[in-house]
Amino acid sequence: MLLSVKHRFLFVHIAKTGGTSVRAALERRRWADPWYWPMFLCSRFSHLSGHRLGSKFPRHAKVVAAKEMLPKEFFDELFKFAFVRNPWDLQVSSFHHIRRERPRLLDGHETFADFLRWKLDPQRPYQYHLDTSIEWQSDYLIDLHGNLAVDFIGRYEHLHADFATACARIGIPAPTLPHARQATDRSNDYRSYYTDETADLIARHFQRDIQMLGYTFDPQA
């Protein structure tokens, strides 16, 4: 999550949706924000206390955390936005990320199909420890009553155009998006990774995201 007091925006960072690039582009703006250094010092004090002070939102905090902790008037005037991604494509990204950076977590499930079955098995202990992509993206966008709490939802599938739209809503020129964490070890077509059975597994597990965000397995169909 990235909060700018000066520019009145709140970016909700959902993992593997281009958020690292968005953060990198927008963080430069924070250095000129007079509130940046007080916020930085509070963050450091929180870190030194083991975050017992609760003065910093986690990187992948849900929007409900900000809504519950910030003053209502301040939260309401923020431009709140996030980026989402096709759930089938996101799980391919998750697989390659773990295989590349934390292969020990695959626990012998080396093929994509085995990885999916194991990752989404409700009987597997420690559900959250793999990565946050096991969660619904829609959970990051709603309040405690299930109401949408962000003002703009961009799409990873047209990241640059939607980022420009978000910057226009903020009222700043759109900075160049760096290619942060760009994968080089996967096919660009996520559909090639799936069988009918594994595609249906994603459809069932992420049904709410698919319905709320309007995604399909084959956008060209």
**Structural domains for the chain:** 2-213 (3.40.50)
Amino acid residing at 204: R
- Cα separations (Å) of 220 from 43, 89, 108, 166, 215? 45, 14, 34, 26, 11
Show the CA angle centred on residue 209, arms to residues 206 and 210, nearest 5°. Answer: 85
Closest CA to 156 of 128, 177, 184: 177
User: Residue 127 — pLDDT band, cuts 50, 70, 90?
Assistant: low
64-99 pLDDT, tens per residue?
999 999 999 999 999 999 999 999 999 999 999 888
19-60 pLDDT, tens per residue?
999 999 998 777 677 767 677 777 777 777 776 555 677 888
Compute the mean pLDDT over every residue in the chain, rounded to the nearest whole number: 87
Residue 144's CB: how many other CB atoms inside 10 A? 9
Beta carbons of 30 and 36 less than 8 angstroms apart: yes
Secondary structure tally for the chain: helices H, strands E? 9, 4
Q: Is 73 left (phi over 0), alpha (psi -120 to 50) or beta?
A: alpha
- Angle, helices 87-101 vs 112-119, to 10°: value is 100
